[in-house]
Structure 1
Amino acid sequence: MDYEDHFRQANRPKIDCLLFDLDDTLYPLSSGIAAACLNNIKDYMVERLGIEKSKIPDLCNLLYKNYGTTMAGLRGIGYDFDYDEYHSFVHGRLPYENLKPDPVLRSLLLSLPYRKVIFTNADKVHAAKALSRLGLEDYFEGIICFETLNPSHKVTVSDDEDDIEFVGSNTASMTNVSTTVNGGSSEIFDIIGHFSQPNSNGILPKTPIICKPSEAAIEQALKIANIDPERTLFFEDSVRNTQAGKRVGLHTVLVGTSQRVEGADYALESIHNLREALPELWEAGRKAEVATYSGKLTVETSVTA
């Protein structure tokens, strides 16, 4: 065993928590859920917000790039809408039937002796439905979702969420987020025009919505669930989310590709490859220690995002 191997073994972080994104992480992008969701968002922007259809592609790209999610961006530039109504429209018509029970993933999760928590930008009703379709509703300690980080003035409970524990959803220290802009009236910020200016300063209005990939959102989620980032593996399909997670001290796993990029400690083509990539997690009799994996599933490249 050479010096580098000795060094890696001596510096393996001790892991006691697995933090999972949900969409396109616990199930593949090929399910079609993400594509359908994007189409529904575009329809909402046209039908409910009255945005000109020709502007939708550029607007979606700019909002997603600069605010983390299209929803956060819409609120940031001045659109006023009800959060629950938005989620109902965007997720209500998704092809959930495309999600099938996943006994392989169930077996993997069941065999892992660690805390397991979901961290998603989606709302709690969508999270509950997706986990139920996958047969995973009872495999996680709890869920950090949109409502966890963005509690509103409304206190409503859906039948879909009765059997799901939402970590930190009633945390008193969180600040309520209003669903109105300037008392209900606001001028819409022209973000497309803003970036079309050659001397644009890049300064944008702030959004009241807290979500990934904001480092503040990730730190707040960790605090709510009492998670130590240095002892946690963070599974994500988004490069920018893994990079943000890395900056706050998490050990990161990029799911959906075998190309390990900057900000990702590991890369898995599928969540099903977890045992191959991280066999140390299954070491019996003690808490697993996770080393840098350099096998066939993880190929370091010069790609950055």
Structure 2
Amino acid sequence: MKTPRPFTHIDTWVFDLDNTLYPHHVNLWQQVDARIGEFVSAWLKISAEEARVIQKNYYRRYGTTMRGMMTEHGVHADDYLAYVHRIDHSPLEPNPAMGAAIARLPGRKLILTNGSTDHADAVLQRLGIGEHFEAVFDIIAAELEPKPAPQTYQKFLRDHGVNPETSAMFEDLARNLVVPHQLGMTTVLVVPDGSQDVVREDWELEGRDAAHVDHVTDDLTGFLEKVGAKA
């Protein structure tokens, strides 16, 4: 039996954005996913079906479809990000309980996302929790290298002066917690609560029993409330 790392020493709390700070079943990312497919189809002048295969292949191989499209086809990040994040954020609802739980955590709170700052700002505004975060480290700050690339986490830690051994990382993809755990972070995997259907690839939902996952929750707000109460 593995012994999960505790939160007693944590002074920096790092959160992924999509499908982490809001429930999977909102399926907001499904809109982005559809826009990515449209972009790939138009850029490569192929059918939607062919684009879907390439989109998912690049996502899995490169960490993001964008990285694959840049590497394989010379796509410019600005064009890609502007198109795929042009979505309707209205399904997101304010979550004051989560905001209160985050506020109660001792220390700094940061966001580390493969999305753009514009998208993150829109999500945080809809959730009403943006005031609790010191900064957003996005795909541009990462020099277009997405998680789970090791250099992305290392650049994040350097840029924001974060000590991984006193930090916790919250993510919805287990593979994005491998490097944080190796660096010494306490890791938390946020999974669907099972109440509603979610649009995810099978591999995206794997890994909850992995050695690099210290904690698993399907209720982030409740989880943070318990951690904050103990801290």
In which range does the TM-score fall when normalised by the shorter chain? Answer: 0.7 to 0.9
Instruction: From the CA coordinates, give the structure whose radius of gyration is larger.
Output: 1
Instruction: Report the RMSD for the aligned CA atoms in angstroms.
Output: 2.3
Cα deviation code 1:98-157 (max 9, x no counterpart) = 01110110110121221100100101111111111110121101110112112xxxxxxx
For the residue of structure 1 that corresponds to 2:19, the secondary structure is coil
2:202: which partner in 1? none
Number of residue pairs aligned between Structure 1 and Structure 2: 216
2:97: which partner in 1? 104
Q: Would you say 1:272 and 2:207 are equivalent positions?
A: no
Cα deviation code 1:255-304 (max 9, x no counterpart) = 1258842121000102112146x53x434xxxx4xxxxxxxxxxxxxxxx
Match for residue 41 of structure 2 among 28, 43, 46: 46
Match for residue 81 of structure 1 among 75, 79, 100: 75
Q: Is the 8 A contact 1:233 1:251 kept in 2?
A: yes
Identity of aligned pairs, percent?
28
* Residue type at the aligned position of 2:84: V
The normalised TM-score by structure 2 is: 0.85
1:250 shift after superposition:
1.5
Q: Would you say 1:226 and 2:161 are equivalent positions?
A: yes
Q: Is the 8 A contact 2:102 2:224 kept in 1?
A: no
Q: Would you say 1:212 and 2:212 are equivalent positions?
A: no
* Residue type at the aligned position of 1:113: P
For the residue of structure 2 that corresponds to 1:101, the secondary structure is coil
Q: Would you say 1:134 and 2:127 are equivalent positions?
A: yes
The structure richer in helix per residue is: 2
Q: Would you say 1:245 and 2:192 are equivalent positions?
A: no
1:261: which partner in 2? 209
For the residue of structure 1 that corresponds to 2:132, the secondary structure is coil
1:48 shift after superposition:
3.3
For the residue of structure 1 that corresponds to 2:20, the secondary structure is coil
For the residue of structure 1 that corresponds to 2:110, the secondary structure is strand
Higher relative contact order (CA 8 A, sep 6+): 2
For the residue of structure 2 that corresponds to 1:100, the secondary structure is coil
* Residue type at the aligned position of 1:272: T
For the residue of structure 2 that corresponds to 1:210, the secondary structure is coil
Cα deviation code 1:171-207 (max 9, x no counterpart) = xxxxxxxxxxxxxxxxxxxxxxxxxxxxxxxxxxxxx
Shift of the 54–257 alpha-carbon distance from structure 1 to 2, 3 Å rule, reads closer
Q: Which runs of 5+ in 1 are unaligned?
A: 1-6, 151-208, 289-305
The normalised TM-score by structure 1 is: 0.66
Q: Which runs of 5+ in 2 are unaligned?
A: 194-206
Cα deviation code 1:11-53 (max 9, x no counterpart) = 8761110000011000011112111111110001112342343
